Structure 1
C-alpha cells in the first residue's frame, strides 16, 4: 500500500490534457521520431496476436501507439491509449509503471496487476535508455487475451526487448551523428554496447550498455579519452610514438587519393616533395 491506492477502485487512468500531452511529447520528440520504423515493425510482429504497442515517456505516459482497429475500443476502455498515466503512483503494480520504477524489462501478467480492473491485461515492457544512459521511455506490448501461453509470452518479450535496443541505438547514432560509432566488446559485466569516437579517436559518448560493460561514469565521459585505452587496455597498447600517428595519417591520405602522391599531398596540405620524403622515411611504398 505504498501509494495508498484502493485495489478495487474502477476509475480509468488519469489522462493528460492537451497542453500537458504536448509538453510531454516535446521533451522526447527526437526519440519518438526515430522510433517510428521500429514501432511499425514490432506491431507487424505482434498486432495479429491481439496486442497493441505503446511507447511511453519516463513518467509512464504513452505518447505513441499502434493497435488493430477492431481491438481499439477494448484497449481504450482499459486505458491503453496515448495520454493516459501508467506510473506506479497512479496504477500500482503494472507493466509500464513497474518497468520504469525498476529500470528493467518485465512482464506483468493478468492478476499480477495491483488494481482489480487491470487483471485482464498482460503487459510486456522494456526500458529505453537515451544516449546519455538515462531512462527515457518504456516500450510496452499489451494484450487482453486470456489464452496466452508461456512460449508466446517469451516470444513477445524477446521482440519487445530487441525493439527497445533498436530505438536506443537509433537515438545514440543520431545524437552522435558526427562521430564514429564503435561496437564495444562484450565483457563479464555485459554486452559491449555502443561508443561514440571523435576524429582524434577519443571516446566522447557511451550507450547505457557500454557504460555498464566498461564501468563508465558521466565524470569519465566528460573528459574524452583514447578509445584504444578502453578497447585493448592501457598496458596492451603499442608505444605512443608520433611516427605511428603520422604513418596512419599518410596511409589514410594515400588510400583516399587511391595511391596518387600529388593528390595525397594536397589532402595533407604539404608539397609533393615533402610527401615523397615522408614516404621514404616511413618506409611506405610510393604511389603515382
Structure 2
C-alpha cells in the first residue's frame, strides 16, 4: 500500500470511528482514543488530513510556562537525564510538558534537531489536544494515567509514524503538574513493542514525583512505607507528609491508593494520619526514636488491614541552623564592591547573591563594556567554587578554526601541528570552578551543538579522544546582543539558550548609574597601583568625567584613565590629560543625579572607599585613617597583628590614599 493510500485509510478510520461512537461511551479498553478523535472533530474542528506545522511557542512564552514550575524543573531534569541514558541508543526523545501540554524541557539527539522540531518533538511545542489532536501527552493530561499513543492512534496523518508513551507527574496535593513523554519518530508496527518503554517512563515519572514531593516538604515529617522491610530506608514511592498536629499535608498517588480503597490525595489532606493506620501519633514518632527496631516500623491500614514497614524522613529543622550559618559565611564582598548605592546595580547584585552556589547557569546581559566579566568573576569569588579556576573565554576572539580544540582540548596527534602531548581544553580546566563564555552569541552553530551535549551529559569529549571525561561544570555566559533575536535569525540554538539561561542578570549602562564618581575613584586606584604610583584626580577632571555619556561604558572609562595616567604630570589627572573625545560630549548634562562634582574633593577618595565596606570592616578603615594609615599604630589600638590588618586590606581591597 502506498503512503497516500495509507493516509487515506487512516483519515477514513478516524472519521468513521468518531462518528459511530457517542462521545464518552465506552466500547473497549482503548475507547479513550476514539473519544479523543471525536473531540478533535466535533469540539476543536480539526481535520485529520490537514495538519498545520508543529506549533512552537516564542521564547518569552516558553519562559513564562517554565517560570510557573521552575523549582520542579530542576528535579525533573535529573530524572529525565537518568531515563535518557537507558533509551538514547534507540533514538527516543524525552519531552516534559506542563499541565497544559506545552513542552518545557526535552532531551534528544541533536543530529536530528531539524526533523524533531518539524515534528514537534522539541522545546516549546504545544501538544494540547485542541492544538495537536490525539497524542500521548494530550491523552495523559485527559486521563491522568499512563498511556501509549502508537502510530495510527494519533489523529493527524502527520503523526502516524510516531510512537509516544506518556505518564503523569502530580504535585504533592494530587494535582497534575506535568507529563513525562518518551517518543520516537519511527517505530515498529506492533504497539506491544512499546510496553517496556511505557513501563520505563511510568517508573521515572514516579521517581520524579517522589523527588519533588521530598523537596516540597523538606521542612516537614515524611512517612515512607513499603511492604518489604529491607527496602524501607530506600523506598520513595509511598510518601505522606505530616504537619506538627499529625494531620496529612500531602501524599504521593501511590501512597493514597494503599491507604484506602478509592482514596485520592485531595481527600487525604487535612485528615489525621491515624484515621488510616492502626496506630497513635506517638507510636509513629517512635519510628524516629527507634529506627533500628523493625518491630516499631510496622503499620497496618484500617481499611484493608494491609501490613507495611515504615520509616520517617526527618525535617530539615536539625540542619537549618547549619544552613543559615553557611549563608552568613558567604563572602559577598566581591559582589558588594561593584556598586555604591546605585539602585540599578544594587538590584542586579542582590539577585546575584541569591544565585550564588545554586547550581544554576547564568546569562549576564548588558551593553559592551558594562563589566560582565567583572560580575562573572565576582559571582565566582563569592561562591564555594572560589578556590578553583575561573576560566574566561571570549567566543568572538578565538578563530573559528581553533575554538573547538581550545574549548574541548585534544589528544596527541589529533591533527597537524597539535602538541605532541595533547592539550586539556578550557572546559576541563574549569572543572570544579567557573567557565565564563563571553560573547556566547558568536559561537559557531556546530560548536553550540557540542556545548549543549556537554551541558546535558556533564561530559567532555576531546578532539581525537575515544571516550568522554566527566566534568563538574558551572557556566556563566554573556552577550551584548539579544540572544532571542539570534534565535529568530537562526544563528543561535534555542535549546542551548534555555540550557544556559537558568537566570538572567542585566547590568546597567554607565550613563544610567548614579555612582560614576565611586567607579572612577576605584579605577584610578586600580590603575595607579599597577603603575606603582600615587595618583590624584582634580575636581575639573572629575566634572568632565561625570558629564560625559560613556557609550563604551566602564571599559571606555578605564581606557581613558589609563591614557590620562600615562601623560599626566606629577601623577595628578587634570582635564587636559583626558582623551579629546570626552569634550565632544560637553553639551550634555554635567551632573549626575545625587552627585555634585564640586563636592568630590581629591581628599575624599578614602571616604568613598570606606563606605563600600560592611560595618565590621569600617572600624578598621576608620582606625587606619585616624593613624594616617600607620599599620603598626592601628594594630596596637585594635589589638590585632599587622599581618591580620594586611590580610583584611588585601581581602577587602582597602588601598591607602598614598597608593591611589
TM-score scaled to structure 2, two decimals?
0.34
Distance (Å, rounded) in 2 between the aligned partners of 1:217 and 1:158: 23
Distance 1:11 1:138, change over 3 A: same
Distance (Å, rounded) in 2 between the aligned partners of 1:217 and 1:162: 19
Query: Is 1:230 matched up with 2:276?
Result: yes
**What number of residue pairs does the alignment pair up?**
236
**Deviation of the 1:181 alpha carbon:** 1.8
Q: Which has the larger radius of gyration?
A: 2
Q: 1:193 aligns to what?
A: 238
What 5-or-longer segments of structure 2 have no aligned partner?
1-40, 228-236, 291-660
The structure showing larger relative contact order (alpha-carbon pairs under 8 Å, at least 6 residues apart) is 1
The 5 A counterparts of 1:248-267 are none
Q: 2:113 aligns to what?
A: 72
**Deviation of the 1:36 alpha carbon:** 1.5
Q: 1:207 aligns to what?
A: 252
Could you list the per-position Cα deviations for residues 109-155 of structure 1 after superposition, in whole angstroms to 9, with x for gaps in the alignment?
A: 11111001011100110011111100011001000123365564121
Distance (Å, rounded) in 1 between the aligned partners of 2:267 and 2:186: 47
Match of 2:219 among 174, 178, 202: 178
Query: Is 1:221 matched up with 2:269?
Result: yes
SS in 2 for 1:128: strand
**Deviation of the 1:158 alpha carbon:** 1.0
**Deviation of the 1:43 alpha carbon:** 0.6
Distance (Å, rounded) in 2 between the aligned partners of 1:152 and 1:71: 23
The 5 A counterparts of 1:98-177 are 98-147=139-188, 152-177=193-218
Is the contact made by 1:133 and 1:207 (CA closer than 8 Å) also made in structure 2?
A: yes
**Deviation of the 1:193 alpha carbon:** 2.7
Is the contact made by 2:247 and 2:270 (CA closer than 8 Å) also made in structure 1?
A: no
**Deviation of the 1:12 alpha carbon:** 1.5
Is the contact made by 2:172 and 2:252 (CA closer than 8 Å) also made in structure 1?
A: yes
Could you list the per-position Cα deviations for residues 210-254 of structure 1 after superposition, in whole angstroms to 9, with x for gaps in the alignment?
A: 33443256465235x2x333222xxxx47x9xxx78x96xx78xx
**Deviation of the 1:89 alpha carbon:** 0.6
**Deviation of the 1:70 alpha carbon:** 2.1
Distance 1:127 1:218, change over 3 A: closer
SS in 2 for 1:231: coil
SS in 1 for 2:100: coil
SS in 1 for 2:276: helix
**Deviation of the 1:18 alpha carbon:** 2.2
Cα-Cα RMSD? 2.7
Query: Is 1:29 matched up with 2:74?
Result: no
Distance (Å, rounded) in 2 between the aligned partners of 1:97 and 1:208: 20
Is the contact made by 1:13 and 1:90 (CA closer than 8 Å) also made in structure 2?
A: no
